[in-house]
Amino acid sequence: MIIEQPARWLRWLYPHALWRVNPNEHSVYLTFDDGPIPEATPFILDVLDQYDAKATFFMVGDNVRKYPELFEEVKRRGHLVGNHTYHHLGSFKHFTLTYAVDVTKADALIHSRFFRPPHGWLRHSVYWWVKQNYRVVMWDVVTRDYSKYLTGEDVLNNVKRYTRNGSIITFHDSLKSIDKLRYALPKALEWLKNEGYEFKVFTEKD
C-alpha cells in the first residue's frame, strides 16, 4: 500500500532522507509525531517504559513551549527528540524563508539534529535548506493512527503487516490518535517484542 509503506518513487524524491535504517538488523525505530501533549504523551511514555523501549519524538515547537515539563520528561526517560517545525507547517504553502524561520524557532527549544517534515512533504527548495542543517527522517511504516476511518485494531494490523528489519514506524501523540493507541500501542509493542525486534533510536551515524 502506498500510504502505509511509501513507494520507491516517493523515497527517491528525497534521496538523502532516512526512510529505513539497516535492513540486515532485526530492529525497529518507533517515532511519535506532533506532541508533546498531556492527553497523549504521558500514556505513551508509560507504555514504552513497560516494554523497556526507547523512541524518538518529533515535536511541534509550540507544544514544547506550552508543555516544557513534558518535553523534559520525554528526555529524562531516555528518549530522543526531533524537530517537527514550530507551527506544524506544510511546506507547499510557505516560502523557504518562512519555513526556515519556523524550523529554527523550534530548534531554539528542541535542540536536535533530527528533523521530520509535517505531512512528509517538502518543497525542493526547502528540502535543500533543511538537509544542509538537519538529518531528515521520514518513515518505512505509517500506522495511520490519525485516521478517523481506522480502529485501534486496524492500527495494530498495520504494524504487523508492514514492519520489517530496520523499519522506522510512525505513530502520533495527538488527540486524533490517542484513543486508537490506548488499544494498539501496548499490543504492537508486545507483538514486536515477541517477534524479536529490538527497539532503537537514531544515532549520529544514522
Q: Locate cell 490506548: which residue? A: 182
Of the candidate residues 6, 14, 17, 34, the single one contacting Zn ion (CB under 5 A): 34
Catalytic choice (33, 34, 107, 145): 33
Q: Which stretch binds Zn ion (CB under 5 A): 8-16, 26-34, 104-112, 188-196?
A: 26-34
State the CB neighbour count (10 A cutoff) for residue 76.
Answer: 10
- Closest approach of Zn ion to the CB of residue 34, in Å: 4
What is the rounded distance in angstroms from the CA atom of residue 67 to the CA atom of residue 63? 6
Q: How many residues does the chain have?
A: 206
Of the candidate residues 5, 29, 31, 33, the single one contacting Zn ion (CB under 5 A): 33
Can 172 be counted among the known catalytic residues?
yes
State the CB neighbour count (10 A cutoff) for residue 128.
Answer: 12
To 10 degrees, the CA torsion angle through 137, 175, 80, 101? 60
Bridge-partner residues for 28, per DSSP?
167, 199
What is the rounded distance in angstroms from the CA atom of residue 38 to the CA atom of residue 51? 21
- Closest approach of Zn ion to the CB of residue 172, in Å: 7
What is the rounded distance in angstroms from the CA atom of residue 181 to the CA atom of residue 201? 20
| Nearer of residues 74 and 197 to Zn ion, judged by Cβ | 74
| Nearer of residues 33 and 102 to Zn ion, judged by Cβ | 33
- Closest approach of Zn ion to the CB of residue 106, in Å: 12
Q: Which stretch binds Zn ion (CB under 5 A): 15-23, 95-103, 113-121, 144-152?
A: 113-121
Helix (H, G, I), strand (E, B) or coil at 171: strand
Angle value at C-alpha 41, between 198 and 16, nearest 5 degrees: 55
- Closest approach of Zn ion to the CB of residue 52, in Å: 26
Can 145 be counted among the known catalytic residues?
no
Closest listed residue to residue 71, CA positions, set 53, 86, 57: 57
Catalytic choice (79, 84, 88, 172): 172
- Closest approach of Zn ion to the CB of residue 145, in Å: 12
One-letter amino acid of 64: V
Q: Which stretch binds Zn ion (CB under 5 A): 33-41, 44-52, 134-142, 197-205?
A: 33-41
Q: Does 145 interact with Zn ion (rule: CB under 5 A)?
A: no
Contacts with Zn ion, residue ranges (CB under 5 A): 33-34, 118
Catalytic residues: 33, 172
